[in-house]
């Protein structure tokens, strides 16, 4: 009985070793990146401060971004990222304060060109957005609430060898800052990032 079992196992092992290996078509499994991120608000809102009604808007600013991504297969992947930027806030064209902007975003990627040397992808994005308090120049602080936001991302990686790549992306979010006691500050930012990625 033991002899026949051993023969069966040997035959099974030989058969499995003879099967063709399933190719892993992913150009990489995981990547980490660091980048600068230029935040451009696309919206503003009308606000009433002490009876004066005018436009309230966040300014364009340069922040930073860190993230990690991965591939499920050749075409599908994901990305998680964190952006940190501090924006001036203008009322009627005059700077009246500043606000911190820290979205944590998750994107489902579809890779249109899934090559290691040139990797172009697009996908929907969902974000949890933490706003700092709106700190006015007179020392007043207006509290804000964190919120969820939705958008889309277009990304591109250009390989520089086995591990390194240049990474760039455009991301839009439908995001406003809820100001306690006031109308929301409409931001709807467009992010443009450029940085370096390490891929494994």
The DSSP output letter for 137 is T
pLDDT exceeds cutoff 90 at 121 = yes
CA angle at residue 69 from 65 to 70, to 5 degrees? 175
103-119 pLDDT, tens digit per residue, is 999 999 999 999 989 99
Helix (H) or strand (E) run with residue 6 in it: helix 2-18
Kindly state the average pLDDT of the residues 150-179. Answer: 96
What is the rounded (10 degree) CA torsion for 81, 84, 85, 89? 100
Contact 193, 168 (CB under 8 A): yes
29-69 pLDDT, tens digit per residue, is 999 999 999 999 999 999 887 788 999 999 999 999 999 99
Q: What is the pLDDT of residue 9?
A: 45
pLDDT exceeds cutoff 70 at 7 = no
pLDDT exceeds cutoff 80 at 169 = yes
pLDDT exceeds cutoff 50 at 133 = yes
Contact 121, 45 (CB under 8 A): no
Contact 140, 181 (CB under 8 A): no
The percent helix, strand, coil of the chain (3-state, each to 5) is: 10, 65, 25
Q: What is the pLDDT of residue 25?
A: 79
pLDDT band at 78 (very low <50, low <70, confident <90, very high): very high
Percent of the chain scoring above 70 in pLDDT:
88
pLDDT exceeds cutoff 90 at 148 = yes
Q: What is the pLDDT of residue 11?
A: 47
CATH of domain 26-199: 2.40.160.20
Q: What is the pLDDT of residue 181?
A: 87
Cα–Cα distance, 182 to 97 (Å, whole number): 15
Task: Say what the pTM is.
Answer: 0.83
């Amino acid at each position: 009985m033991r002899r026949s079992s051993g023969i069966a196992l040997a035959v099974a092992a030989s058969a499995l070793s003879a099967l063709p290996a399933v190719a892993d078509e992913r150009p990489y499994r995981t990547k980490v990146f660091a980048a600068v991120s230029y935040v451009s608000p696309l919206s503003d809102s009308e606000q009433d401060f002490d009876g004066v009604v005018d436009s309230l808007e966040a300014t364009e600013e340069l922040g930073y971004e860190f993230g990690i991504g991965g591939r499920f297969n050749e075409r599908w992947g994901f990305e998680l990222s964190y952006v940190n930027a501090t924006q001036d806030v203008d009322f009627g064209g005059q700077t009246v304060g500043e606000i911190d902007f820290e979205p944590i975003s998750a994107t489902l990627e579809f890779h249109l060109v899934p090559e290691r040397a040139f990797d172009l992808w697009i996908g929907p994005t969902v974000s949890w957005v933490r706003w700092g308090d709106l700190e006015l120049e007179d020392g007043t602080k207006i509290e804000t609430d964190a919120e969820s936001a939705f958008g889309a991302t277009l990304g591109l990686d250009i390989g520089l060898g086995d591990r390194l790549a240049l990474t760039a992306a455009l991301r839009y979010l439908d995001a406003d800052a809820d100001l306690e006691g006031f109308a929301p500050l409409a931001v709807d930012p467009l992010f443009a990032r450029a940085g370096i990625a390490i891929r494994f």
